Amino acid sequence: METKTLTEQKTETPLRAVSCAVYPSGGEREAAVSLAELSRLLDTADAVCVGTLTQIRAHPDSAGGLGSGKLEELSALCDELEADLVVYDGELSPAQLRTIEDAITREVEVMDRSMLILAIFARHATTAEGRLQVELAQLKYTAPRLMGRGRELSRLGGGIGTRGPGESKLEIDRRRLKTRVRSLEAEIGHLASTRGTMRAARDRSGLLRCAIVGYTNAGKSTLLNTLTDAGIVAQDKLFATLDPTTRQYTLPSGARLLLTDTVGFIRNLPHHLIDAFRSTLEEAALADAILNVCDASDEEVLSQMDVTEHLLEELGAAGKPVLYIFNKCDAVPERDRLAEMRTAAAASDSDAVFISARTGEGMDDLTAALERIARDGRRRESYLIPYADGAALHLLHDRAYDVSLEYTDGGVRVSAIVDARIAGRLAAYRLTDETHDGERKEEDDA
């Protein structure tokens, strides 16, 4: 019988998967939430969870994740349910992975939660950069867990590049993998440089940049499509879109924003994936404001907000202005739950709106909130620009509003309405209140 695998081929019929997990006593609720999410991940990967096996213990078994008795139960369950796939809800070491494989008599594919997420990313990556990033993450994470099975004995060979005495196929594979990793890192570095050039061009536009972030399947892509007719794929599946998409949005006041849809977050997002996608995830770190889209219909929305905020902090995007956008409010059965979300948003001293990107409910409130973001991003400042820095003067003429100039012996005094980006670039020339007071005193003395 030919074994169907998740990583090597797409099948016409969904793969039959058995999930398994270890959790401590008292952790039943957290385990149930995580396993439900794992089931949705399997659905996204064209697999169906046909059975679940759990074990209560303080820590996963160091040898096989599950204890030896539970591994026997797992093997029997796979035979009974004719499983093609076993997914462990957690992270497995190479040794634990091999122990589980050896314990199951039926030929099945074994993977952990991170490997499943990586497989989903591999399916959904469409751009050249996305495919390279996924391949790099897979090699760094899964290679140590997949190698070492079925080692071949060494063979004699002659010539450059052939295996010498005592060199196993495993060692050859490792060397090739290292070479491929270096090659991928170089290609991704080149693409990151290109992305940086594109960002610099967007910076020169002087528009306020807003990153749309949030838990996977919260409706980020649907929101961008609703606001800008971006036309990107929006499906009721986890990680339906991976590649960042930036569109310009013009508010009723005439103010323009750059909105960037980013890859969704999830619990226990593999670190290798974060590292590989760092150049695209940086869209959030480099944005002027964060639009945190939350699925109001999900009972775990508050814990999902915590996951998103933690990952934003890890990416260096903490401390930016945040607008919480609670989406899918049309699907919330109990309106009392919305009050809890308002309280959670208020606790972080951030604004919040409640919408349905699908039906259009609350979109006027969202527009008003975006108007406030655009307005708060601009303020009147005064500068003393040296005559030698013509670029600074050109920047103000090109991007600032209501610019007035006064030529003095010390340079050009400028008063203008600027956005946060211009204010940051010209911070060294800014005239503070103390500076104005000192100048007024000198005038009085004169």
The phi and psi torsions of 37 (rounded to 5 degrees) equal -65, -40
Q: If DSSP codes are grouped into helix, strand and coil, which group holds residue 129? A: helix
Rounded CA-CA distance 405/391 in Å is: 15
Give pLDDT, residue 234: 67
Report the C-alpha dihedral over residues 375, 381, 387, 393, rounded to 10 degrees: 10
Rounded CA-CA distance 304/357 in Å is: 19
Give pLDDT, residue 157: 45
Most distant CA atoms of the chain, gap in Å: 99
Give pLDDT, residue 77: 97
Residue 269 CB coordination number (10 Å):
20
Question: 429 to each of 119, 377, 382, 415, 423, how far by Cα in Å?
Answer: 51, 19, 8, 12, 10
Give pLDDT, residue 438: 47
Closest CA to 87 of 131, 47, 132: 47
Copy the structure tokens of residue 392: 């600074």
Q: Where are the beta strands (DSSP E) in 186-309?
A: 208-214, 245-250, 256-261, 289-295
One-letter amino acid at 33 equals V
Q: Are 273 and 115 in contact (CB under 8 A)?
A: no
- pLDDT by 10s per residue, the chain, length 446: 455 666 555 556 889 999 999 999 999 999 999 999 999 999 988 899 999 999 999 999 999 999 999 999 999 999 999 999 999 999 999 899 999 999 999 999 999 999 998 888 888 777 787 788 888 888 888 777 655 444 333 434 444 444 444 446 667 677 788 888 889 888 888 877 776 776 666 665 567 889 999 998 899 989 999 999 877 766 666 776 677 788 999 999 888 888 988 888 888 877 777 776 776 677 788 888 899 999 999 988 989 999 998 888 888 887 788 899 999 998 887 767 777 887 877 777 678 999 999 899 999 999 999 998 887 767 788 999 999 999 999 888 887 877 899 999 999 999 988 876 787 788 889 997 544 444 444 444 44
Give pLDDT, residue 434: 45
DSSP β-ladder status, 256-261 and 208-214: parallel
Rounded CA-CA distance 360/116 in Å is: 34
Q: If DSSP codes are grouped into helix, strand and coil, which group holds residue 233? A: coil
| Residue-wise DSSP of 172-219 | HHHHHHHHHHHHHHHHHHHHHHHHHHHHHHHHHTTPEEEEEEEBTTSS
| Residue-wise DSSP of 58-102 | SS-BTTTBS-HHHHHHHHHHHHHHT-SEEEESS---HHHHHHHHH
Domains, the chain, in order of start with CATH, read 15-121 (3.40.50.11060), 206-376 (3.40.50.300), 379-445 (3.30.70)
Render the burial of 323-357: b for 16+ CB within 10 Å, e for the rest: bbbbbbbeebeeeebeeebeebbeeeeebbbbbbb
Rounded CA-CA distance 118/357 in Å is: 28
